[in-house]
Structure 1
Amino acid sequence: MRALASLALLAAGTAVCGAQQAHASISVADDAGERVTLSKPAQRVVALSPHAVELAYAAGGGARLVGAVSYSDYPSAAKALPRVGDNNALDLERIVALRPDLVIVWRHGNDERQLDRLRALGIALYHSEPRKLDDVATDLIALGRLLGTEPQAQAAAADYRGKIAALRARYAGRAPVSLFYQVWDDPLMTLNGTHIVSDIITLCGGRNVFANLTPLVPTVSTESVVAANPEAIVTTSVGATPADAPLPSLAAWHAWPRMMAVARGNLFAVDGDLINRPGPRLAQGAEQLCRDLDIAREHRPK
């Protein structure tokens, strides 16, 4: 097969790559706690999630990107990048043909078996999966080192941290709002307390009603949501993604008019690209969510 032949060709160069890494001058830790080492700043980068593309551009490395996955549409220049599949199904032959010296991967979004094949070829992988708001800044700085664009990355991280700090100061004393965050409606899915969105909820003075569940993205029942009786329900709306893409709906909750979120009119939608992609634009998504929770507070009986 052509794919296997391509992979074999790159495998032949693994020894050379290993020799270069023996004298590595750049070393950072990624979000999986693994060391990523390069002998020089990366020149050809493939990003395997839309948020990884955003991080690379924000860190000053947009000109180094040579490949991306579907829905990588921000900034606008990213739309012209060659596609190497989507989050779940990567075109390994295409990735190899692009000759990357760094691949930014999404730890829990990409197929681990495919990542293992890239790793076996000696390609440097940086796992990006921010779990706390400040992890976005940490990723920016780490990528800036790997890309040789530290001044731009440091500036982007400082700007992002400033915006998050301002939101934290503004909403720190607000009354708590219990919240159900709906990822999808069929099956009904949410996020637990270790997901970065839950950190945003906390920042805004919210309380994730399913924070204690074990899976990162748990499936829950309608009855369990009704029993939790959240004061607000939040989902995502269309952002930069195609208008015809399937999105979760809140309409079904009107069948439960006594549930507090429904009775008080606290069914909200936040731009999905701003809150689901853990990049610098999370500050904008957080601001939207914080405003929505303020509306929920205003809806409380006087």
Structure 2
Amino acid sequence: MTRSRTPYRTSAHWALAVALSLGFAVLARADVIVRDDRGATIKLPAPPQRVITLLPSLTETVCALGFCERLVGTDRYSNWPTSVPALPKLGGMDDAQVERIVALRPDVVLAARSTRAVERLESLGLTVVVLEPRNQTEARRMVATVATLMGRPEQGGVLWARIDQQVQRAVARVPAVLRGQKVYFEVDAAPYAAGSVSFIGELLAQLGLGNIVPPALGPFPKLNPEYVVKAQPDLIMAVERHLNDMPRRPGWATLKALQTRRTCAFDAARYDMLVRPGPRLGEAAELIADCLQALPPAERGTP
């Protein structure tokens, strides 16, 4: 009589299944270690499942990497993608709502360096990762850090490669006659400008454009309005409502870029994309290229 080998095979399969399950459990619980913009090393026992972001670029990065479902709250200004506005809004850099944040029991809080509540949140036992990119190198590091934090470090490289491809497509579409033109890019009506060493300035340089703000003035300097008038930028870029007001500013009606409509006016939603150093930088480059291509030939300086 031949003994059935089924019980042996079943036991072997069961043992293999248990081993694999334990292996996956160990992987799922593997420590996650990242270094933030303070130079602090943050260690978590596993990728966070409940995440709060207190900066729009951080919110967008989490979502672009494919982890939007892990968000349980954001700052008041985060509004992309479309699922984000429905999440609890927890204040901003100056007035983060600490009690509400604690009540949401996050595994990690992603915050800017300038968020005043960072120390308070840490004193209450929360894990805080501080990331606030000012240039593209820092933005790329932010993407890589968030991807690692979420347990999928390879996704950071994939996302940034996509951004690079979008930027290169935009570069190819910029009219050659506009290359080297000096830009005044307004980030606030005070006026604050995007300098050449900011992520916006770097993006403009990639597109072959110049900047009226030299590196020495920093990434986002507040300018004397007369500085802009004397600089006579070839192109002006700003949110639409501020651009419409510029001719009424003292002396600004003399700006040739305004007189000849060598301007790029962006509505609020598109402007948000331009001023956030995150995963939509490639789309921002294409948006600028769209504007430059739309300028009538006479306004580009062609005969």
Q: TM-score, normalised by structure 2?
A: 0.77
Instruction: Describe the superposition over 1:119-170 as per-residue Cα deviations: whole angstroms up to 9, x where unpaired.
Output: 3344332222223335434322321221124455443333223222433455
Contact 2:102–2:126 (CA under 8 A) maintained in structure 1: no
Contact 2:76–2:91 (CA under 8 A) maintained in structure 1: yes
Instruction: Describe the superposition over 1:86-144 as per-residue Cα deviations: whole angstroms up to 9, x where unpaired.
Output: 23210111111112221111224x22xx1121233443322222233354343223212
* 1:62 aligns with one of 61, 65, 68: 68
Contact 2:65–2:155 (CA under 8 A) maintained in structure 1: yes
Deviation above 6 Å: which 4+ runs of structure 1? none
- 2 CA distance for matches of 1:136 and 1:252? 31
* 1:175 aligns with one of 167, 176, 179: 179
Letter of the 1:127 partner, please give it.
V
Identity of aligned residues (%): 27
Equivalence map 1:247-286=2 (5 Å) = 247-253=241-247, 256-270=252-266, 271-286=270-285
Contact 2:197–2:218 (CA under 8 A) maintained in structure 1: no
- 2 CA distance for matches of 1:65 and 1:191? 30
Contact 1:28–1:142 (CA under 8 A) maintained in structure 2: yes
C-alpha distance 79-295 of structure 1, shift in aligned 2 (>3 A):
closer
Letter of the 1:115 partner, please give it.
V
Alignment coverage as a number of residue pairs: 267
Which residue number in structure 1 is paired with residue 230 of structure 2? Answer: 227
Max Rg structure: 2
Which residue number in structure 2 is paired with residue 292 of structure 1? Answer: 291
Which residue number in structure 1 is paired with residue 10 of structure 2? Answer: none
Equivalence map 1:22-101=2 (5 Å) = 25-101=31-107
Contact 2:183–2:235 (CA under 8 A) maintained in structure 1: yes
- 2 CA distance for matches of 1:275 and 1:269? 12
Match of 2:210, SS state, is strand
Contact 1:141–1:153 (CA under 8 A) maintained in structure 2: yes
Instruction: Quote the RMSD (CA, aligned, Å).
Output: 2.7
C-alpha distance 120-169 of structure 1, shift in aligned 2 (>3 A):
farther
Q: CA deviation at 1:215?
A: 4.9
Once the two structures are overlaid, the 10-residue window that deviates more, 223-232 or 137-146, is 137-146
Contact 1:130–1:136 (CA under 8 A) maintained in structure 2: yes
* 1:155 aligns with one of 155, 158, 166: 158
Match of 2:261, SS state, is coil
Contact 1:198–1:211 (CA under 8 A) maintained in structure 2: no
Q: CA deviation at 1:280?
A: 1.5
Contact 1:29–1:35 (CA under 8 A) maintained in structure 2: yes
Q: CA deviation at 1:48?
A: 0.2
Contact 1:206–1:293 (CA under 8 A) maintained in structure 2: no
Which residue number in structure 2 is paired with residue 144 of structure 1? Answer: 147
Which residue number in structure 2 is paired with residue 7 of structure 1? Answer: none
Instruction: Describe the superposition over 1:40-73 as per-residue Cα deviations: whole angstroms up to 9, x where unpaired.
Output: 1112111001221111111222121111111322
Which residue number in structure 2 is paired with residue 244 of structure 1? Answer: none
- 1 CA distance for matches of 2:38 and 2:165? 26
Match of 1:182, SS state, is strand
Which residue number in structure 1 is paired with residue 119 of structure 2? Answer: 116
Letter of the 1:253 partner, please give it.
P
Instruction: Describe the superposition over 1:187-206 as per-residue Cα deviations: whole angstroms up to 9, x where unpaired.
Output: 22212233211111111212
